[in-house]
């Protein structure tokens, strides 16, 4: 009897967090189907050559293990959803710059979807969280073309540190 493989969504943790429980439903149907087949097999077996009890137990144990694995995956998805929501909540109040450097601003809200996360700035601009997106605790300053963002050469201390907004310096 063939069993459908259990697969996961893409390697994106945001996408995995919102995955559905269709795999669990499929496994449940397969498990129920297995039990029905086992009962039908027992009813219709040759009385002179009955099915080996150890073979029955082995099959039952295999399907029980599959069902437990599906349940473990469901619990793991729940944990990933909780982690994704926590991460999303932590982004509010931080500063974001899109991967193409066109959008930047302070995050006012976050939308979590099954395939990713979108942050919305105070200017209502939307940024899809993906590779290349910059998230910072401090405001992000756009550097004009032709200039470098390295302010260390102009530091008053001359030691390669930048002036901090609290009056201190960071290296």
pLDDT tens column, 72-116: 998 998 898 888 888 888 899 999 999 998 999 999 999 888 778
Distances (CA, A) of 132 to 10, 21, 22, 45, 74: 19, 31, 32, 63, 31
Residue 4 pLDDT > 50 = no
> Is residue 170 within 8 Å of residue 164, measured between CB atoms?
yes
Q: How confident is the model at residue 25 (pLDDT cuts 50, 70, 90)?
A: low
Stronger pLDDT, 121 or 144, i.e. the higher one: 121
CA–CA separation, 66 and 61 (whole Å): 9
The mean pLDDT value of the chain amounts to: 73
Percentage of the residues of the chain whose pLDDT score is greater than 70: 65
Min mean pLDDT across 54-63, 141-150, 162-171 is at 162-171
pTM of the model: 0.47
Q: Which of 5-9, 22-26, 100-104, 126-130 has the lowest mean pLDDT?
A: 5-9
Once rounded to an integer, what is the mean pLDDT over residues 9-19? 47
pLDDT at 112: 85
What are the residue ranges spanned by the domains of the chain?
A: 13-91, 92-142
What sign results for the dihedral spanned by CA atoms 85, 89, 92, 93? negative
- Tens of pLDDT along 124-136? 999 998 889 999 9
Higher pLDDT residue, 3 or 38?
Answer: 38
């Amino acid at each position: 009897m063939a069993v459908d493989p259990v697969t996961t969504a893409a390697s994106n943790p945001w996408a995995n967090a919102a995955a559905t429980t269709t795999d669990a439903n499929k496994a449940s149907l397969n498990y129920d189907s297995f039990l029905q087949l086992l009962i039908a097999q027992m009813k219709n077996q040759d009385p002179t050559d009955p099915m080996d009890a150890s073979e029955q137990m082995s099959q039952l144990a295999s399907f029980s293990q599959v069902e437990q694995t599906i349940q473990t995956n469901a619990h793991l998805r729940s944990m990933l959803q909780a982690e994704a929501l926590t991460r999303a909540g932590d982004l509010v109040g931080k500063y974001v710059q899109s991967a193409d450097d066109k959008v930047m601003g302070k995050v006012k809200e976050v939308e979590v979807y099954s395939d990713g996360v979108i942050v919305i700035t105070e200017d209502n601009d939307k940024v899809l969280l993906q590779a290349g997106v910059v998230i910072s605790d401090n405001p992000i300053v756009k550097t004009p073309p032709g200039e470098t963002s390295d302010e260390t050469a102009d530091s008053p201390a001359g030691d390669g540190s930048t002036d901090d907004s609290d009056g201190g310096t960071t290296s």
